[in-house]
Chain A
């Protein structure tokens, strides 16, 4: 018997199983013998088993859709079986960050569970129950660490209370430890008497959840899992054996396989088509037209096109080859990214809409002895997760069920319900493992297509597979940008004025009529939050309308902003004959929390969605990571000819990262990176092992962004098709040794993000290192692997 969460197979396998909460009757327990023993919920702990009151703080999690849901409630998140097996719900999508493991680890640690007896169950999209499930913005730990600690601590206290009732002693004499509750003597020493969690499960789960003011969490020196980095990720063994279940691995009885032909140009439509030849391909069973979005803004509506349904993926692919389609390319048919880049640069040369103003920058520039000015260019990027987009759908008895590698299962569920005209309770979205996400799988167009296709097939189960070229050419792309940085420098070599112009098509064009201007979320990513101690500052945004779908990409606008700002600082330092690291520290200035008001930040300043008072921009933390990374990397050491170090630092997602890249330039100009050192201060941290893996991965993705990758458009269509022409870092050219130093957080510094913050400082650190090694300054990404 499993108390409080019941798992039931949802068609195929555990990874895709749905869950429901068993409605255990409390009455049976309250009337029983244990209740008569008069246990108390207001637990009074003796000093011998002191724990800490939970010092709660507000986060932006409460402002997200459905906030924290019932994440604090053990009845919703935890089940304990008679034999002591513990099941913990994991409600965020796993795309490689380890969050599927790390959040349950928090629960298990707080409740004193033996990790080897814990199994996980992936929550389907159900935010009212589990809390917000948008796995993006590096905010899973940032927003749910408190709820998960609370949930685990409540479970522990419920187990202790149940033991106290069974033993008829004060709860203060009961202490949970490693899957048992131990009976203590009056001195707080263990008596040797204990009860296992399994025996206590039923009575503990029948108790109400202790109120917040009665909850005590473990002090850090008592952690068994948190901050240790010793527990492996939950899916490790399955992954190494090919048993882990990703989107395309779902198998349902009678399932069809499908691919789609989509318009090459965003907003294109099918003008006419001839499916006769396609339908003659052996195995092809049907061709269906799927309507694309009717008008801009397109949101996450499908691009539309023709779906070829077959008895195997290969037959569907052959069917697609045989299909004849005439397209109407629509209003974006002339999009040419080379011409567009020229337009962006022209716009960046002119004043734009003022987003931040501090002091009198016009006067500072008028009085300057020297002016530094440079433009930094960045291309569109495709997330290009190794797992191309895919989804499975089936509709049976008026109920739709989806399986998909999706970062936002509840948003997808709402739109599926609307598209199929079903009540939301009749739609289930199961979350498989994601074979990488990087932001693309926050956009559920691929799920809507599949659901609509299943409906056209009378509800038949269907797997709709995107090919690599579909994934590459029908994306939601990282924006392309020109960032202009200007500095007014006085006769003492001090920077008195700062001007930053950003020109880039905005993600907001996905959701609202496109004004050509960006919105607070993009302004908050390394633009208006510039942390330098410069008296006169102006941040301006020039207009740039979108001609393709613009979407999230790991660390988003921070990529071009950090590249521009941190390259410019190094350039200005060298122009003034200064050491780049010392100059950077001097620009950041005294230790302080930046005051958004006196710094001229906009009223609607976006601080990664979190309250500024709790997650301020702290210059001491930024300077600290710079010093730590520089010391570890041996900043200032003499290197052979053709080698150099570059440094960059950036705060994003409430986390501070400094990166030092070591470049070796070959005689032919080939760039190699033998070593990268990063220092990261993400505040309170849980799983250092996964932090290191994220930082190692961020360096590799940073290298791809900086040197190799770029999406270009001609006649409205993407020019890249596959990894042959959209290059990413490989085993032959990745940064060979990435060292990560996790800075011990100061007391009271809250958990920040980890999935994204490692990416932004890499490209400028690399560009600065290339300059140090070769004397060549590269202001345009991708830089190419040869200078």
Chain B
């Protein structure tokens, strides 16, 4: 039986281990900050951290997450004051906001391993996270801003 550690809390999982983490988080645990956007790993709206790395929860199964630390947007910072979240607010990045949890999780994972990413590295990291409202310019700026504060 897989054991999932989600935002610091461990729990046994006794359903179908092939369940994508996304649906377990959303439907069983009501952790709705992680969004469904495409179901095939091509939009990034469902991005979470698995042992600190950004992954697409819509194509990551519960079995694959067994024994690993899962962090969702709800667990990124207890008070919402992760430097990336602060930078996002400082620059008023979101429009509709739907993709932003995924964008923030992707950006936080980048900054956790590279505190001073170049513009090219930011683009490479973020180009799989789609935003139909077109907030890319501010996302890019906010990551640069957050990099100063990580």
Contacts and interface: CB of A to CB of B under 8 A. Distances in A.
Interface in B98-150: 98-101, 104, 122-124, 126-140
Interface string B29-47: 0111111111110110100
Interface string A432-469: 01111110000000000000000000000000010110
A502 to B, nearest CB: 27
Nearest to B137: A696
Given A314-B27, A388-B36, A697-B135, A244 B97 contact: yes
A728 B132 contact: yes
A527 interface: no
The 8 closest A-B pairs by CB, nearest first: A242-B33, A700-B134, A435-B98, A242-B73, A96-B96, A96-B95, A239-B97, A697-B134
Interface of A: 94-98, 232-233, 235-237, 239-246, 248-249, 251, 257, 282, 312-314, 384-388, 433-438, 465, 467-468, 689, 693-694, 696-701, 722-724, 728-732, 734-738
Chain B CB within 10 Å, residue with most, of A233, A314, A731:
A731
Given A313-B26, A696-B134, A240 B80 contact: yes
Contacts of B138: 693, 696
Contacts of A282: 16
Main secondary structure of the interface of A (DSSP, over half): loop
Given A98-B95, A693-B95, A722 B38 contact: yes
B1 interface: no
B27 A313 contact: yes
A435 B97 contact: yes
B32 A249 contact: yes
Contacts of A701: 132-134
Given A240-B94, A242-B33, A436-B98, A693 B135 contact: yes
A282 B34 CA distance: 24
Given A242-B31, A386-B96, 16 more contacts: A97-B95, A236-B88, A237-B80, A240-B85, A313-B26, A385-B96, A386-B35, A386-B130, A435-B99, A468-B40, A468-B43, A698-B134, A700-B131, A724-B42, A731-B122, A731-B140
Contact of B92 (A233, A387, A435, A465): A233
Contact of B131 (A257, A386, A732, A737): A386
A94 B95 CA distance: 9
A97 to B, nearest CB: 7
A172 B16 CA distance: 72
Nearest to A737: B137
A312 B130 contact: no
A761 B134 CA distance: 16
24 contacts: A96-B94, A96-B95, A232-B92, A233-B92, A233-B94, A236-B94, A242-B74, A314-B19, A314-B20, A384-B132, A386-B45, A386-B133, A388-B37, A435-B99, A436-B98, A436-B132, A697-B133, A722-B38, A722-B42, A724-B40, A729-B134, A731-B122, A731-B123, A736-B137
A95 to B, nearest CB: 6
A701 B137 CA distance: 13
Nearest to B27: A312
Contact of B23 (A235, A240, A313, A436): A313
A697 B95 contact: yes
A240 B108 CA distance: 12
Contacts of A738: 137
B96 A95 contact: yes
A697 B95 CA distance: 9
Contacts of B129: 731
A452 to B, nearest CB: 22
Contacts of A313: 23, 26-27, 36
A240 B36 contact: no
A257 B22 CA distance: 14
B132 A734 contact: no
Contact of A387 (B24, B30, B35, B135): B35
Contacts of B37: 386-388, 468
Of A245, A386, A434, A699, most B-chain CB atoms within 10 Å: A386
B96 A387 contact: yes
B58 to A, nearest CB: 10
Contacts of A97: 95
A242 B132 contact: no
Contacts of A240: 80, 85, 88-89, 94, 100, 104
B33 A241 contact: yes
A232 B92 CA distance: 7
A736 B95 CA distance: 17
B123 to A, nearest CB: 5
Nearest to A229: B92
A249 B31 CA distance: 9
Interface string B11-29: 0000010011001101110
B110 to A, nearest CB: 12
A697 to B, nearest CB: 4
A694 B92 CA distance: 12
A386 B74 contact: no
A433 B94 CA distance: 13
B97 A96 contact: yes
Nearest to A699: B134
Contacts of A729: 134, 136
Contacts of B30: 251
B14 to A, nearest CB: 12
A239 B102 CA distance: 11
Interface core residue of B38, B43, B127 (most chain A CB under 10 Å): B38
B134 A734 contact: yes
Contacts of A734: 134, 136-137
Among B43, B72, B73, chain A packs the most CB atoms within 10 A around the CB of B43
B65 to A, nearest CB: 14
Given A313-B26, A386-B45, A689-B92, A722 B40 contact: yes
B28 A312 contact: yes
A438 B95 CA distance: 12
Contacts of B134: 696-701, 729, 734
B113 to A, nearest CB: 18
A436 B135 CA distance: 12
Contacts of B97: 96, 235, 239, 244, 433, 435
Given A239-B97, A240-B80, A434-B96, A386 B132 contact: yes
Interface in B42-58: 42-43, 45
Chain B CB within 10 Å, residue with most, of A698, A728, A730 = A730
B48 to A, nearest CB: 10
Contacts of A736: 137
Contacts of B16: 282, 314
Contacts of B80: 237, 240-241
Given A384-B132, A722-B38, A723-B43, A246 B123 contact: no
A723 B130 contact: yes
Contacts of B73: 241-242
B141 to A, nearest CB: 10
A239 B100 contact: yes
Nearest to A384: B132
B42 A386 contact: no
A38 to B, nearest CB: 48
Contacts of B89: 232, 236-237, 240
A738 B139 CA distance: 13
A96 B133 CA distance: 7
A435 B32 contact: no
A384 B115 CA distance: 34
B135 A435 contact: no
